[in-house]
Structure 1
């Protein structure tokens, strides 16, 4: 089946899979967003324990999806992996550090003889929630704004700054995406608390946080989206592979791919509906509308970054070093073998959904924390 597909078809297939994994990861950052709210929404130790434990039941999903996203990118587009991770290693090491301290925090926060104290690990969770989301969003912003690398004829990477990827924060368009992800994660975290915690006080405070975080989210996201539509983009000639700048490139991508435009618009509406219904109607299921909207929106952004003859990882140091899905991909044999493995993905997703439903069959409560043998 897959072996009969062309190399380009396989490259496009795997860009769709990578895009979907990236979109699912952004949705799952509700864990990170919720962590930044544990001192804002919870007003005492028992409430903080409730919030940390409802997030603790899901943090591994986020971590595993991030690892799977990176693994799929490495296997399908190894030149991007070697270029970005081999050149911009400071930004990736920073991201790794903030996710490692998250794992340590959930493991040791309530351990007996914890000499650092629970508060130390709670601070680690907040740092992971803040810097983890902002740095990842900023790094993804380079898909649209470029990075400072060049490749030689052997595809060896040279990074043109000593900051090794951290210079991305000097481009405000990158930072705007990072802050959009940060505030979106906080919105999703608040919605998740409303859906999973049995407490009227926590529900009311989470609802209030929706208002506080929606305003900056809309400011930064609309800035990012409008500027993206208006800016020059990195196009390439499919016949020669030559990369060149094209005015309104990402607007052209949306118009050339109307299905992607529809996915983007439906996604944005889903996010706004989830937020609005939770604020105005005080419902507890807003996480599902906003979560589905997040997946669709991020999925569409990834598609316009890599499809329609677009360089998905542009170089600002040497334009012709920019990476495209054609230039960066694995061989036909590798993509074919991986494509058969990808057929198991729906079963994995179904298993995750089943586990999720089992864990959230009823809202977490103080009584459950007192009876539970394992508490984060």
Structure 2
């Protein structure tokens, strides 16, 4: 085996982060497009234009979400089990909303009835907006700690409720998530559609970009001044057999800033988030949508890594029993499991990137109303 256990634990923290970023940049774009569908498309032809910009790609993009879920299950099984216990109804809500996407994409245009198509347009809106909001709310609750504990057999027990997840800070985090993904989708539509949809999309890039900048800044101030963080005080050696009950954790003010003060280079992440958002808005306004899409992707990466760097090594902190918090060093699978998964990832991630790049290259064009009008046989 090439890597020792400690290194593998850290590698898998990085890899899960990469998968979440890949999901946000690709499938998050589809969610943003779905969120904007009822507002940017003024008639059925324009809405079909919007759908056809993501229709050939959305299912391939969703591979990132499925892969991230599988990676969490295999690399951090206790996190997977505890999250489904604590966030059960929230996850079901996101899952049920996601059901509208495959059905909406495949069946919307099968019947010409305007009421049928309008209903599926709003279904695609729900399939885009609700998961984006729920995922942000989940991150907001992680930063505050989740009320759970482990028994002597490491079985998780959640003591909170669904409506407790809908606290003000978590809702603000949901706004950040919804705003950044909607902006990302708007940039994509500005790049891939012709007028007048492209100009309308540019307006939404500015609106959602500025709103996300404000929400992200407010969340940072709130997290710094109003929310206590978690800090590991003592634990076994980092390469020891995983034991979530073998450490001491304290809750303290400013604790979420510990990594930023200890490793100042991590400040690049929030700066990247703000800079990417600002550049996306400016480049979109200058009608440089291709560059704006790249800036938007950097913004998503910076925002996600800002939360990840603040929390590391915590994955799921416990607000009621801090010592039971799940962290990157003790919530993992065995060394053999992590090693096998590492090599599987090393093989398949390049394949995913390769076929994703190939499909985007082959289907790259601006979708126009004239094309949709002339080719009624199109699937979407």
**Structure 1 Cα separation of the partners of residues 74 and 233 of structure 2:** 25
Check if 1:213 corresponds to 2:208. yes
Matched, 1:278 2:284: yes
Residue 330 of structure 2 is aligned to residue 327 of structure 1: yes
Residues in 2 aligned to 1:347 and 1:305: alpha-carbon distance in whole angstroms: 31
Q: Is the 8 A contact 2:234 2:249 kept in 1?
A: no
Aligned counterpart, 2:248:
242
Q: Measured at CA, do residues 188 and 115 of structure 1 come closer, stay the same or move farther in structure 2, by a change above 3 Å?
A: closer
Aligned to 1:117: 116
Separation in structure 2 between the aligned mates of residue 8 and residue 139 of structure 1, nearest angstrom = 27
Distance 1:321 1:373 in 2: 57
Deviation (angstroms), 1:167:
2.1
CA–CA distance in 2 between the matches of 1:219 and 1:204?
Answer: 23
Asked if the contact 2:272/2:298 (under 8 Å) is kept, the reply is no
Determine helix, strand or coil for the equivalent of 1:200: coil
Asked if 2 retains the 8 angstrom alpha-carbon contact of 1:168 and 1:174, the reply is yes
Which residue is equivalent to 2:57? 58
| Counterpart selection for 2:223 from 218, 223, 228 | 228
Q: CA deviation at 1:326?
A: 1.7
Shift of 1:114: 7.8
TM-superposed deviation, 1:327: 1.9
- Structure 1 stretches of 4+ with a deviation exceeding 6 A read 113-116
Range with bigger deviation, 126-135 or 211-220: 211-220
| RMSD, matched Cα | 2.0
Instruction: State how far apart, in whole Å, the 1-side matches of 2:23 and 2:11 are.
Output: 19
Distance 1:218 1:260, change over 3 A: same
Paired position in structure 2 for 1:264: 270
Structure 2 residue ranges without an equivalent (≥5) = 237-246
Which residue number corresponds to residue 313 of structure 1? 316
Normalising by structure 2, we get a TM-score of 0.90
Q: Is the 8 A contact 1:271 1:293 kept in 2?
A: yes
How has the CA–CA distance of structure 1 residues 251 and 329 changed in structure 2, closer, same or farther, with 3 Å as cutoff? same
Counterpart in the other structure of 2:240: none
- In the alignment, the residues of structure 2 paired with residue 36 and residue 244 of structure 1 have an alpha-carbon distance, to the nearest angstrom, of 40
Partner of 2:339: 336
Distance in 2 (alpha carbons) for counterparts of 1:116 and 1:278: 34
Task: Give the deviation of 1:133 after TM superposition.
Answer: 0.6
